[in-house]
Structures are given as structure tokens and as C-alpha cells.
């Protein structure tokens, strides 16, 4: 059995370990991607790609957007040809299409139409993706081929079914996380005052709601601190912090280019008490579409978490057990949850330990690997 992994955007070492799982099981595997995102990490040997990019940033002005669209069309054709060539060269028995958006680019591909495949949906592709007509139509064409459809939460499964996916072809597995690397940090001391949101600087992560909640909290607890730790364009976030008069209480840290992610994140966790994931559905339709992995990693480290009720939160948090769950977009509810944890450090510790047990079990790499290999064998047979 040989497995070919296909990505539109591939970032080595980011979260996927499917290639590693194949090699551990002595299954020959290769990767083809359109954009190789440079993260200063080692790339797998033999990886084939169309273009190396530092980061896929949206174009801002009209001329840049037009140029980006032209480049996208050109690169898509090159990617399609590269996939066909690699299928002939590598002769895989199974394809693994990572991201629904990759499948949309390859929905008319001869290789995809004649080989069995699993397609994994990771978030944007099954939230905002179906809002784009050409992507939605591509999904419907792909689902007629009856692939295995890997989803990360129940809401994503319902969206797949609404687009014509077969219920009996939907498979479910949490993404693997490096749970062994994260020590049991927990909470240091009896004062909860240091809050952390580890997330990209984009609308769906809920920074705006958190800033409103935090400003409300500062009225009674002026010594609290909030850190926004992530990557992307932070200019809008810094402006909003300034507008709300929070400049001396909220710090924005861009983690891009700061070395190994896990080491950098563990260091942040050591200096904060509670991790927040107040994600929302963005105006353009994008939402989490699965667990917020940075929040799950915080749970592995024994940190209590406060999350909104986004699709996928239920995979690691039951309200008042492993953390607190608040309605999306509700700043008052978020502030109340922060007050509840701050007032009861014992409760926060218990939630942190319960989260460590659950997240370490449910996001263990071995569990993902076993599911993955089972899918490949089913398809190969």
C-alpha cells in the first residue's frame, strides 16, 4: 500500500502527523502541495510543491488582489499537473486529501476520480468554504465519488451531510497533539490574574469579545493582565486595544519566528493562569469547525480554560467539568466566567486537572495513528 498526501497549503510540523504515521507503519508515502509554507522547519524528503511562501497573506489593494487571483489560477493548473505526474511516478494505492479546499482544486482531476481517497476537513474549509459557490459545487462532485470524509466535530458532519456526503462514509478522529511534551503546569499560587488568548489575530478567534469582557473586569480588578499571543496582522488588534484604553494592561506578542512552537507556548503557559478561546463565527462565515488546538494543549498542561460554544469545543470541554463554556459573542457571559474562576482557584485547579486527563487521552497521537491506518487499509481493500 502506498499513500500520496495532497495539500493546497502545507506547513511542515504544524499539526498533521499523517506522513509520520505512514512511515512508522512502514507504508510508503509522499506529499504534493501547491504552497509550501516556510516555517523554518525541516521539510520531508521528496516533497514536491509549486511555490514556497513565507505566509499566505490576503492581498490588500485592488491591483494586488487581481495579481493574486491570476497567480492562484496559474498555480492551480501547475498543481493539478504536478499531482497527475506524481500519481504516475509514485503509483499510490490511496490518496489523502488534506483540507476540503485542496479537494475543490482537484475535483476534476483524473487521479482523484479513479483512486480511493480520504478527505480531511479542518475548519475554514467546512465553515466558510461552503459559502463560496465554486467550492460548494466542488464538494458535491467529490462526495458523489463516496470518499471517506474525515471531520473534527459533529457540526462539521452535519454540514457534510447537507452537501451530499454519505453519513456512513464519515469518519471521526481528533488531530494528534504532542501531549508528551507538555508538563503539568497547573496554576501557581492562589491569585488568578494573568489571562492568555493563544490564537491567530483574526476575527473568528473572538479577540473583540474578550477585550470587552476584560475591560469590564478591570473595573474591579485593575491589576489583571491579558496577553494576546499569536500571529498574523495585529495592527487592527493593537488599534482596538488603544481605542478601549487598555494599552497598559494588554500585551500583543507575535509568535512568528520565535523558534519551536511548543517550547515557546509552554513558556507562555508558565506565566499565565487561565487560557481563553472565545471564538465566534466571523462575518464571512468562518468558524473553528473543530477543537481549538491551542486551548487543548493548554488543557494538557493542566490549565483551566474558558471557551465559547463554537463547533468542536465539546471535544475537550464539558461546561463546569474541564472548564467553562460561554455563548459565542457574549462579552458579559465571558466576564462572568472569568470572575467565577478568579474567585475560586480551587475550582480552577480541579478543572485544569480534569482537562489534562481528558485532553491527553483524546488527542493522543497513537489514537489518531490507529484511526488513520485503519482508513487507509479500508480504502486499499
> Can you spell out the DSSP letters for 315-330?
GT--BTTTEEEE-TT-
Judge if 3-176+364-380 and 179-362 fold alike in CATH terms. yes
Q: CA-CA distances (angstroms) from residue 115 to 96, 161, 200, 255, 381? A: 10, 22, 36, 40, 12
pLDDT in tens, 218-277: 999 999 999 999 999 999 999 999 999 999 999 999 987 667 889 999 999 999 999 999
* pLDDT (tens digit per residue) in 285-319: 999 999 999 999 999 999 999 999 999 999 999 99
Q: Mind listing the pLDDT tens digit for each residue in 19-40?
A: 999 999 999 999 999 999 876 6
CB 90: neighbour CB atoms within 10 A? 16
pTM of the model: 0.93
Domain definitions of the chain by residue range: 3-176+364-380, 179-362
Report whether 265 contacts 288 (CB < 8 A): no
Cell numbers linked to 330: 457574549
For residue 69, give every residue at least 6 positions away whose Cβ sits within 8 Å of its Cβ, in sequence order, or none: none
Arch. (CATH architecture) of 179-362:
3-Layer(aba) Sandwich (3.40)
Phi, psi (degrees; rounded to nearest 5) at 105:
-70, -25
Check if CATH label 3.40.50.720 holds for domain 3-176+364-380.
no
Q: Give dist(CA 201, CA 216) in Å, integer.
A: 21
- Average model confidence (pLDDT) for the chain? 94
One-letter-per-residue 3-state SS of 74-141: HHHHHHHHHHHHHHHHHCCCEEEEECHHHHHHCCCCHHHHHCCEEEECCCHHHHCHHHCHHHHHHHHH
With cut-offs at 50, 70 and 90, classify the pLDDT of residue 189. confident
Strand ranges across the sheet with 148-151: 48-53, 29-37, 3-10, 94-98, 117-120, 148-151, 170-172
Amino acid at each position: 500500500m502506498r499513500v500520496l498526501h495532497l495539500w493546497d497549503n502545507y506547513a511542515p510540523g504544524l499539526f498533521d502527523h499523517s506522513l509520520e504515521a505512514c512511515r512508522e507503519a512502514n507504508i510508503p508515502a509522499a506529499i504534493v502541495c501547491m504552497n509550501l509554507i516556510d516555517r523554518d522547519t525541516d521539510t520531508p524528503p521528496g516533497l514536491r510543491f509549486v511555490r514556497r511562501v513565507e505566509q499566505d497573506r490576503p492581498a490588500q489593494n485592488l491591483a494586488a488582489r487581481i495579481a493574486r487571483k491570476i497567480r492562484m489560477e496559474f498555480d492551480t493548473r501547475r498543481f493539478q499537473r504536478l499531482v497527475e505526474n506524481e500519481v504516475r511516478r509514485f503509483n499510490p494505492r490511496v490518496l489523502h486529501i488534506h483540507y476540503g479546499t485542496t479537494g475543490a482544486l482537484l475535483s476534476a482531476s483524473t487521479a482523484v476520480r479513479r483512486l480511493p481517497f480520504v478527505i480531511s476537513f479542518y475548519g475554514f474549509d467546512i465553515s466558510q468554504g461552503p459559502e463560496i459557490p465554486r467550492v460548494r459545487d466542488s464538494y458535491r462532485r467529490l462526495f458523489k465519488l463516496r470518499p471517506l470524509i474525515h471531520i473534527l466535530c459533529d457540526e462539521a458532519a452535519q454540514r457534510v451531510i447537507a452537501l451530499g456526503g454519505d453519513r456512513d462514509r464519515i469518519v471521526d478522529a481528533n488531530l494528534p497533539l504532542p501531549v508528551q511534551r507538555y508538563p503539568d503546569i497547573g496554576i501557581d499560587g492562589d491569585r488568578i490574574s494573568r489571562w492568555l488568548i493563544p490564537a491567530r489575530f483574526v476575527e473568528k478567534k473572538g479577540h473583540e469579545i474578550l477585550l470587552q469582557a476584560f475591560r469590564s473586569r478591570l473595573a474591579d480588578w485593575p491589576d489583571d493582565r491579558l496577553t494576546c499571543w499569536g500571529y498574523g496582522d495585529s495592527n487592527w488588534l493593537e488599534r482596538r486595544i488603544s481605542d478601549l484604553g487598555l494599552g497598559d494592561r494588554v500585551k500583543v506578542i507575535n509568535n512568528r519566528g520565535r523558534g519551536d512552537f511548543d517550547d515557546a507556548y509552554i513558556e507562555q503557559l508558565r506565566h499565565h493562569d487561565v487560557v481563553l478561546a472565545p471564538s465566534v463565527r466571523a462575518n464571512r462565515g468562518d468558524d473553528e469547525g473543530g477543537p481549538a488546538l491551542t486551548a487543548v494543549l493548554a488543557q494538557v498542561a493542566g490549565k483551566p480554560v474558558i471557551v465559547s460554544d463554537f463547533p468542536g469545543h465539546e471535544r475537550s470541554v464539558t461546561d463546569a467539568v474541564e472548564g467553562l463554556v460561554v455563548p459565542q459573542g457574549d462579552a458579559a457571559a465571558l466576564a462572568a466566567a472569568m470572575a467565577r474562576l478568579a474567585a475560586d482557584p480551587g475550582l480552577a485547579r480541579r478543572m485544569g486537572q480534569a482537562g489534562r486527563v481528558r485532553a491527553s487521552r483524546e488527542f493522543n497521537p497513537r489514537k489518531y495513528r490507529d484511526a488513520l491506518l485503519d482508513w487507509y487499509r479500508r480504502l486499499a481493500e
